[in-house]
Amino acid sequence: MSSYRASLAGLLLLGCTATSTELPPTEDDGRFGVTGSITTDVGAPVVDVFVTVSTEFCIPDRTARDGAFAIGDVDPGPKRLITYGETASNGLFASVSMAFDADDEHVFDAPIHTPELVERIAVEPSEPVSIITADGLSISMEAGALELAPFAPAELQVARVDPATAPIGVPGVELLDMFVLHPIQSTMDPPAAVSFPAVSLPEGTPVVFHALDYDTGRLEVVSSGQIDAAGRPTTTPGEGIPELTWVAVSLEP
């Protein structure tokens, strides 16, 4: 396991500071289990990836050969299911943080889909970055704007995601397109300007850009934008995405 992958696994374990041996569960203490499975966006299992739930008494699990996981000692209330895709043994996958509520035994009936990050583009953070990915996502950063996560490789890891099968969304909002950008915990200041692949909308149509906040497990609005002359949803000048994460675009409400 690389230093970067090991550091992410360590962060996950630090998020679970107590274990069931420190506070043994009882039949009436209200704590319960969370189960489900992690698969790729084409349904193949993601193996050995760390999975946990954001609660101080959580015990992380690693997915089995079929992608299944089981987390114990979960307290009732709002939670985040967290995966560290970089820890999988059968590839490099996007990490997930998704909010959910549970007050009793919770089963994710549908598999949680996460894409494999097969496109990797070398970057030099001290220089301007201007990239067009294989699926047509344009990303531009000023020299020195990108601060890579500790131990992360100097590369941009990218995958396009079908919003209909993504594990996260925006309630009541139809997402036009979605990408995942890694390494996670990498930030951009000033934010990176992005243009998504062209859509069938008139030039000047207002759009908004969303980015996954790993701390909340939700997609948050991070930038306004509009459809440019080439039909591409493009961030407003001076705005953009502030970190490498799941990013999506939708029409302005």
pLDDT tens column, 227-240: 999 999 999 999 99
Strands 106-107 and 68-74: unpaired
Dihedral angle over CA of 227, 148, 145, 233, nearest 10 = 0
CATH code of the domain in which 99 resides: 2.60.40.10
Residue 194 has pLDDT above 80, yes or no: yes
Last residue of a domain, one of 83, 113, 143: 113
* Domain final residue pick, 79, 113, 147: 113
Per-residue pLDDT tens digits for 15-31: 443 333 233 344 557 88
Over residues 68-84, mean pLDDT: 91
Percent of the chain with pLDDT over 90: 79
Question: Are 156 and 171 part of one and the same domain?
Answer: yes
Q: Give the residue numbers spanning the domain of 196.
A: 119-251
DSSP state at residue 185? T
Which segments within 171-217 are labelled E, that is strand? 175-182, 187-195, 206-213
**Amino acid symbol at 207:** V
Contact 112, 82 (CB under 8 A): no
Answer yes or no: is pLDDT of 12 > 80.
no
Tokens 């990797």, residue located = 120
pLDDT at 31: 83
Displacement of CA 47 from its chain's centroid (Å): 18
**Which of 89, 113, 137 is the C-terminal boundary of a domain?**
113
Q: Are 68 and 76 in contact (CB under 8 A)?
A: no
Task: Confirm whether pTM is higher than 0.75.
Answer: yes
Taking all residues of the chain, what is their mean pLDDT, rounded to a whole number?
89
**Exposed/middle/buried for 174, CB within 10 Å: 0-12, 13-18, 19+?**
exposed
Whether 44 has a pLDDT exceeding 50, the answer reads yes
Same domain flag for 94 and 15: yes
